[in-house]
Amino acid sequence: MSEVRVTPWHEGDVPPPPAELLEGMQARRPNGELIGIDRVLLRSFPLATGWNGLLGRVRAEFTLSLEYRELIMLRVAVLNKADFEWGVHYPAYLQAGGTEEKCEAIKAVSVADGVFNKEERALITLTDQSTRQVTVDAEVIEDLKRLFGEEQTVEAVATVAAYNMVSRFLVALAI
């Protein structure tokens, strides 16, 4: 974290964050350990509060499978060159059921068909279009709705959007 472009929050900084905010952020992390992005977010308590709520729900409450959400997060990390994001989500993806082979394949500029199933390919297409050009073809959304239904289509689009926000924050502040 020595290259981070703002000073990360540390215990003892004044003013301290609200206890419920700090507890909520720690609850989302293994062993309650804050990571680099958390410490930068704590430079703005309103931002940290909203961020923790939104990303907590994306990570823990969506019906779209965690494996698929983590796949989206990894693809966004690759497209936006967010190494920190990759480092956080790579083990989470493997733990959720992803494979090393898919991790390697997701790094390609153009993802090969042979490694991913039709659901994964549809999610990668969504992620690529939304991240690279913002506009997503109507056929891509229709394909997602056929494969996942409307609720999970909305959740997939929201996951792409949320993790583009995350990656852009990470890259801009060199986290």
pLDDT band at 1 (very low <50, low <70, confident <90, very high): very low
Question: 66-172 has which fold?
Answer: AhpD-like (1.20.1290)
- Rounded-to-integer distance, Cα 85 and Cα 89, Å: 6
CB atoms within 10 A of CB 43: 15
Domain residue extents for the chain: 19-60, 66-172
- Rounded-to-integer distance, Cα 62 and Cα 80, Å: 23
Condensed to tens digits (0 to 9), the pLDDT of residues 36-89 reads 999 999 999 999 999 999 999 999 999 999 999 999 999 999 999 999 999 999
pTM over 0.75: yes
Question: Helix-strand-coil percent breakdown of the chain, rounded to 5?
Answer: 70, 0, 30
Condensed to tens digits (0 to 9), the pLDDT of residues 129-140 reads 999 999 999 999
